């Protein structure tokens, strides 16, 4: 039996040709856009810049110069990351991730700048606060001379003004401004006292030797010099004698309500301390009484001109009226005691 012709072997079914599929490229943006992370870093940097700028200029007001400083700080900090981020995006064929990476890295690198500015201002504030405390303690030292006290006041005034410009606490700033203003008043009165005292001490025409006065005009001149000396001492006493009302008015001038002004005035007045006030009263009170007593002595000679005679050999002054002589002797005795007291004060200051 004839076999059927064999069929050619059946070929396996041909699979469809596999083509290599290429994922289409993501369309690239025509504009540089910030990633959310970049926006977060940008916000943090802007806030840090503003905080550092504010800490550096606080207390200087809010005028065109301060606004310009804020704007300049922001532009100076942000212009480099923005420009380099955009250039990186452009050179990388508009790849957003490349531009954002450079932008974010630069922000992170530049962030310590404004942060350091803020903390530097805080450190300066703390240093000034400590300096003010040291100067205040030095100013209360009873052993220092008037010249040394005046120099301390000048340094304290400068420190208070600097602190008022740096501190972020408006109440503390106002208190520092009030303290600086009071220190300036104290300096002014102390300057006047030193000048008047020097004029009195250097004027040889002012003397307790009655025979030195040969004409009434000499007594008039001596009284003028002595009265200026006494008034300058009294001005210092008056300045420190009514601290709370004085400070209250100064705080009200700073915009404080009456109740808050009175409270702040009591606080700053209490910092002066009773020992300091007692020392001022003792020193300048003695100067004032001494000048007043000398003026009374000179007035007695002036009012009784022609009714007294000085014996240079016996160094005695004779009055026609016994009551006037008794008043003269009483004044002279008081003046001797006051001179001894002033010598003690001077010796204490020199130790």
- Could you read off the pLDDT of 230-267 as tens digits, one per residue? 999 999 999 998 899 999 999 999 889 999 999 999 98
Whole-number pLDDT of residue 61: 44
Instruction: Check whether 73 has a pLDDT greater than 70.
Output: no
Axis-axis angle for helices 64-91, 112-139 (nearest 10) = 150
Contact 219, 213 (CB under 8 A): yes
Q: pTM of the predicted model, to two decimals?
A: 0.61
- Of 101-115, 117-131, 187-201, give the range with the top mean pLDDT: 187-201
Neighbours of 227 (CB within 10 A): 17
* φ, ψ of residue 64 in degrees (nearest 5): -60, -35
Q: Which of 85-94, 234-243, 321-330, 334-343 has the lowest mean pLDDT?
A: 85-94
Q: Which of 17-31, 79-93, 197-211, 221-235 has the lowest mean pLDDT?
A: 17-31
Burial (CB < 10 A; 0-12, 13-18, 19+), residue 121, is buried
Instruction: Check whether 149 has a pLDDT greater than 80.
Output: no
Contact 32, 99 (CB under 8 A): yes
CA angle 204, 205, 211 (to 5 degrees): 115
Concatenated DSSP letters of 17-65: PP----PPPPPPPSS----HHHHHHHHHHHHHHHHHHHHHHTTS-SSHH
Q: Which of 19-23, 72-76, 105-109, 131-135 has the lowest mean pLDDT?
A: 131-135
Whole-number pLDDT of residue 344: 87
- Could you read off the pLDDT of 1-43 as tens digits, one per residue? 444 454 445 445 554 555 555 555 555 566 666 677 767 777 7
Whole-number pLDDT of residue 230: 96
Whole-number pLDDT of residue 133: 46
Contact 48, 109 (CB under 8 A): no
Nearest to 38 by CA among 46, 29, 30, 28: 46
- Could you read off the pLDDT of 218-237 as tens digits, one per residue? 999 999 999 999 999 999 99
For the chain, the maximum distance between any two Cα atoms, rounded to a whole number of angstroms, is 191
Q: What is residue 9's DSSP assignment?
A: P
189 or 347, which is more confident?
Answer: 189
Contact 320, 344 (CB under 8 A): no
Q: What sign for the dihedral angle of Cα 113, 119, 122, 127?
A: negative
Q: Please state, for a pLDDT cut of 70, what percent of the chain lies above it.
A: 62
Whole-number pLDDT of residue 2: 47
Mean pLDDT of the chain: 76
Whole-number pLDDT of residue 228: 96
Instruction: Check whether 136 has a pLDDT greater than 50.
Output: no
């Amino acid at each position: 039996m004839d076999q059927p012709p064999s069929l050619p072997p059946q070929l396996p079914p041909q699979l469809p040709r596999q083509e290599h599929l290429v994922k289409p490229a993501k369309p690239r943006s025509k504009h540089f856009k910030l990633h959310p992370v970049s926006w977060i870093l940008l916000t943090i940097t802007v806030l840090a810049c503003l905080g550092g700028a504010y800490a550096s200029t606080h207390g200087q007001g809010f005028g065109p110069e301060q606004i310009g400083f804020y704007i300049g700080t922001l532009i100076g900090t942000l212009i480099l990351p923005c420009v380099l981020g955009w250039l990186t995006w452009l050179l990388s064929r508009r790849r957003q991730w490349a531009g954002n990476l450079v932008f974010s890295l630069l922000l992170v690198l530049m962030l310590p700048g404004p942060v350091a500015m803020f903390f530097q201002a805080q450190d300066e504030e703390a240093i000034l606060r400590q300096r003010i405390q040291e100067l205040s303690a030095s100013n209360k030292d009873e052993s220092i001379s008037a010249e040394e006290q005046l120099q301390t006041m000048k340094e304290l005034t400068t420190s208070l003004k600097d602190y008022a410009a740096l501190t972020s606490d408006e109440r503390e700033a106002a208190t520092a401004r009030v303290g600086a203003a009071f220190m300036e008043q104290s300096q002014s009165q102390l300057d006047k006292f030193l000048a008047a005292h020097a004029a009195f001490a250097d004027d040889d025409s002012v003397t307790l030797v009655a025979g030195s006065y040969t004409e009434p005009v000499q007594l008039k001149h001596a009284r003028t010099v002595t009265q200026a000396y006494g008034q300058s001492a009294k001005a210092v006493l008056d300045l420190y004698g009514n601290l709370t009302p004085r400070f209250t008015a100064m705080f009200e001038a700073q915009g404080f309500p009456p109740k808050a002004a009175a409270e702040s005035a009591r606080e700053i007045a209490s910092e002066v301390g009773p020992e300091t006030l007692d020392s001022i009263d003792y020193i300048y009170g003695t100067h004032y009484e001494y000048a007043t007593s000398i003026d009374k002595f000179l007035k007695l000679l002036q009012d009784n001109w022609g009714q007294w005679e000085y014996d240079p050999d016996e160094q005695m002054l004779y009055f026609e009226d016994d009551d006037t002589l008794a008043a003269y002797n009483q004044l002279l005795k008081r003046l001797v005691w006051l001179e001894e007291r002033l010598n003690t004060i001077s010796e204490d200051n020199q130790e």
